[in-house]
Structure 1
Amino acid sequence: MENNLTVIEQDGQLFVDSREVADMIGKKHFHLTRDIEGYVQVLSTNPNLDSMNFFIQSTYMDGKGEDRKRYLLTRKGCDMVANKMNGAKGVLFTAYYVTRFEQMEKELKQPQTELQVLAATVNNMVQQEKRITVIENEQKRIFDLIGLNPSNWRKEINKIIRLIAKESGLSHSVIWSESYKTLENRGKCNLQRRLDNKRNNMKKEGASKTKVEKANFMDIIDEDPKLTEIFLAIVKDMAVKYKVTLKKETT
């Protein structure tokens, strides 16, 4: 077993790639992702446990240029995988990932020179621009697929929710709550936690108190193409469930 784990830092969190974990423990990647999906399913049955503290679903591009599933494992996720292993392999894997996480944590705590800070700032700006471009392109594809105008899709969703509330006789808050809860279940996410993180980041960046307080779940959904796609599908399903005619009412 070779210690070839690369620890990835994203938004202050540390992860390792499931492909590298599979290689390290001598397991086919498909089998490891299947195991992780099982762990995620079990975790989702307990409202006090968030699977995203252990595993983050992601994708990578294979040799054919096609997207394939992978997972990013936190230290807790590695713990869970290691706990399912027996014998020397489990011991060695634990020793390797614990060492790599500790090394990365120490590197992040190291004081940086002005040049390093500047380089990191420029790199963050470039990465942010790339993420924005990816999000915009992906959302355009989603809006084209669903049939909503990207410039005012949130306004149209609000209109649909109002129509659902009117048709069902339920309050707007109940309908919104149902849509968000369904999104958390399907998307395996915690909206409140993401919103708290967003507000904390806004405060660090100097945003006004009013602007911070105005941030909401829809902002979180808007920033994540996958959540956007899932949420739009959920609202369409709810419209069908409550017998709301979207084409007629939203044009």
Structure 2
Amino acid sequence: MQPMLTFIVITIGLALALHLLLFGITKLFGKGGEGTLGDIRSAIGASLPTPLGVAIWVIASTLIAQKLVEHFAWSPIDLESSEGESVITIDILISMIRTGLLVIITTWFVARGVRAFSSILNNWHHSKDTIELDTTAIQALASVGVVITWVVGFIVTLQSLGFNMNAVITIGGIGGAGIAFASKDVVANFFGGIVVMLNRPFKIGDHIVSGKIDGKVMRIGLYATYLETENGDTLYVPNSIFNNSEILTVNVT
């Protein structure tokens, strides 16, 4: 019992010390500074500490759980049953859970980082006249980046937990194809928004004419673009329209 208690106390002490060290580094490192490097430091300081702190305690708690399992012999040491078939012991299960949680935490950090860097770009847009950025496009692309990050993280987590990824991907592909067919207009508008953001035939503030569409660009979203008409009304235009129509930019701001 004494060695187990010693291990638990040391593990909790190390986790607490690392957490306090992380807090101190964040206070110094997360203050940022002047220039681009300072902005990057601020983004890292805003996105890293919380996930890393959670990761420290996940590792500590799972190590303690494995020590308890070993001490009370809650699972066999052998990885095979008497019939020679592979079995998952509690110790292995805890390791798999720890790996899955760490993957989720890493995904969380990357998603927070994407949001933090998009905020930096927005700040550059508002504070530096020499940098011309479409803030709506930045936010939209950041949202896409976050979604992709979580999808990849979810797949890696399932794989780390021992799921058959071929079956998961196959089922996901069939389901995705069905959803895409049922919502083909939504998909067309989504990719139309990506094309508009990449090709930039117009930007926020431009006055455009495309067929019967006439107005000032107020917002460019992933699904639709919002225009202000001469009467002051808001015109909601699905982005897929711009992929199949000529666009005349009559007033570039």
TM-score (norm 1): 0.24
Instruction: Answer 1 or 2: higher relative contact order, Cα 8 Å, separation at least 6.
Output: 1
TM-score (norm 2): 0.24
